Structure 1
């Protein structure tokens, strides 16, 4: 699973919005298609998704000094 030069450009800048389901349908399909073919972006997606899940566990009290 690697990206050929003819494939869509890397989608790293869209991964945060993709994880938060904040992309329109066309962008969502583009990112999903790219992630199936690009190991690097797929690894970055996993890291962003994990960070998002961990942030969801924080409480307001956790953010205060």
Structure 2
């Protein structure tokens, strides 16, 4: 792993797990470091976090037709 966050590959595939706090500590640090330097991944993170928050508001009745 590189010490320079700009050298890290994009972390989009890890964002869902990051939002759910399902990454190991090393991956969590990698994602957090990358998000500080990548506007594109940060925008994607916000979208994933918002979607996760909205899903948490759903109740079983909301899923029935």
Q: TM-score, normalised to structure 2's length?
A: 0.90
Q: Where has structure 1 moved over 6 Å in runs of 4 or more?
A: none
The runs of 5 or more residues in structure 1 that have no matched partner are none
CA RMSD, Structure 1 to Structure 2 (Å)? 1.1
Q: TM-score, normalised to structure 1's length?
A: 0.90
Per the TM alignment, residue 38 of structure 1 is displaced from its structure 2 partner at its CA by 0.1
Per the TM alignment, residue 19 of structure 1 is displaced from its structure 2 partner at its CA by 0.1
What is the distance in 2 between the residues matched to 1:12 and 1:61? 32
Q: 1:46-57 counterparts in 2 under 5 A?
A: 46-57=46-57
Aligned length: 61
Alignment pair present for 1:29 and 2:5: no
Q: Which has the higher contact order (CA 8 A, sep 6+)?
A: 1
What is the distance in 1 between the residues matched to 2:9 and 2:61? 40
The runs of 5 or more residues in structure 2 that have no matched partner are none
